Amino acid sequence: MGDLSEELVRQFQDVCAVDDAKAIQFLRHCDGNLEEAVQLFFGSGGTLSASFHDDENNANDEVELRQRNVRSRSIQNERTVRRAHFGRPAPVGWMQWFRTLFTMPMQFIWHSFWDLLAFFMAFFESYTRPAVTDPIGDINAFLEQQSRILAGSQVQLPFSHVAFAETARQAKQQLKPLLVYLHSQREASTRFLRDSLASPEVSRFINESEFVLWGAGNDRPEGKNVAFNLRVHSYPFLGLLYFESGRMHLVLRLDKLVSAQELYQILTAKYQEIRPQIMVQRYEKAQREEDTRLREQQNREYEESQRKDREKAELRREEENLRQQAEVAKRDAEEKTRLRNEHLRAYRADLVEKGENTQGNIRVQVRYPSGDRTILQLLKETSLDEVFDAIYRQKACPTYFSVATVMPRTVLNLAPKWYVDLCAENERDGGSPLNAEPGDGLTVESIGLENGTTIMVQDLNA
């Protein structure tokens, strides 16, 4: 029997009712694992084909059919333990052989019933999505467990500390392959984590290949939810997710115990297979980001150019408005000046048409800016309006003027109110101020204008 104990072979025979050769064949294929050998026997119909040894993918399918989910394995494990505990030694003598043959059908029916029950329970449970209420707590529980398993080891696996959805989003955004590990409470999962996944060559390869590593226990809702999505039924489970065209693809499914060297070879081969697509995606992403950056830069430059053009256009509009306002103001001022000058010319022409009044015994000499002189003959009761008219009637008199005595120099308030207002408008247009009050209602006598006085006429626009 080699490395298989007689007790182990008898236990297998007690359950499956087969000869020694068949029992040894199934036990050796399952590395002496009684539970897996029994499940394989009933799952394969008691026949272990030659292709089963050669084709690893078919083996994985068989294991998946045999081990539907956690509950099925728990029931099988309890039953195996119960059988091992209550197992009896090989029959000795005719009575024990008769007893064994008599009880074998009942044991077969009993164990078949439990197998069917476990199958249906696993079937219905596999279609039930568990509710996840605390994904971070589930992740932390797994991280604590794997820390205990790897205690004393110098290798630390870079497991993600966030929920699966967030980890998948980060892996998709960074264009990195996502390695998903689902851990069970069985010894096989512990051995796989400690001896294979945490081996120096595998952990180094995971870090150098920029894998995103995420893990959880299948006894927690977060792990169960991921197992439901990935259709996981046997453990330990290691899957490689690859994102292409915005969708997640499971490109590697490993749900059995393998050595560190086998795991390294499997991961290396699969990574070399998908690495060209990853590099192409990263190149395309870099091109898109560069195109986006250039487009944003061009948009910023265009918007800045548009802003400057708008500012220049606004400045030109303001300058044009100011220019137009200045032109309008200039035209208005010119029009007002023209109207004032026409009014004053008409007033002077009217004075010339009326003629001079030479009566009076007060002689006043008037000197104009041009050097012309004239003598006014005034009466004491002559109004200052008449004196203004006599001065303005002369052709040598400026349009806008003021008068003052020579010795001493005193500004005379001769102008009427309307003329003072016109001089104020002329001052706003750039003329000199009149600096005189209206002389309405005053006479020659009231301002002390005496005989022989000389007055000077000053041009306000000179």
**Residue 265 belongs to some domain of the structure:** yes
Tokens standing for residue 130 = 């568990």
**Residue 325 belongs to some domain of the structure:** no
Residues in a beta bridge with 179: 213, 240
Query: What is the number of residues in the chain?
Result: 462
The per-residue pLDDT for 372 is 93
**Tens of pLDDT, residues 162-186:** 888 888 888 888 888 899 999 988 8
The per-residue pLDDT for 357 is 66
**Residue 258 belongs to some domain of the structure:** yes
| 78 and 169 inside one domain | no
Q: Spell out a b/e string for 212-228, using b for 16 or more CB atoms within 10 Å of the CB, else e.
A: bbbbbbbebbbbbbbbb
| 103 and 166 inside one domain | no
Please state, in angstroms and rounded to a whole number, the distance separating the CA atoms of residues 216 and 182.
5
**Strands 401-405, 212-217: parallel, antiparallel or unpaired by DSSP?**
unpaired
| 116 and 224 inside one domain | no
| 165 and 233 inside one domain | yes
Single residue among 287, 315, 347 that ends a domain in this structure: 287
Single residue among 226, 258, 287 that ends a domain in this structure: 287
| 96 and 30 inside one domain | yes
Ranges under pLDDT 70 in the chain: 1-3, 14-17, 39, 42-46, 49-97, 111, 114-115, 117-132, 246, 357-358
Structural domain that includes position 209: 135-287
| Domain count within the chain | 3
Are 155 and 199 contacting, i.e. CB atoms less than 8 angstroms apart? yes
Phi, psi of 33 (to 5 degrees): -85, 110
Tokens standing for residue 150 = 């790897």
The per-residue pLDDT for 130 is 62
Q: Which residue in this structure is represented by tokens 């005193």?
A: 410
The per-residue pLDDT for 373 is 92
Phi, psi of 362 (to 5 degrees): -105, 115
**Strands 401-405, 237-244: parallel, antiparallel or unpaired by DSSP?**
unpaired
The secondary structure of residue 433, as a DSSP letter, is P
DSSP secondary structure, 143-166, as one string: HHHHHHHTTT-S----B--S-HHH
Single residue among 92, 125, 158 that ends a domain in this structure: 125
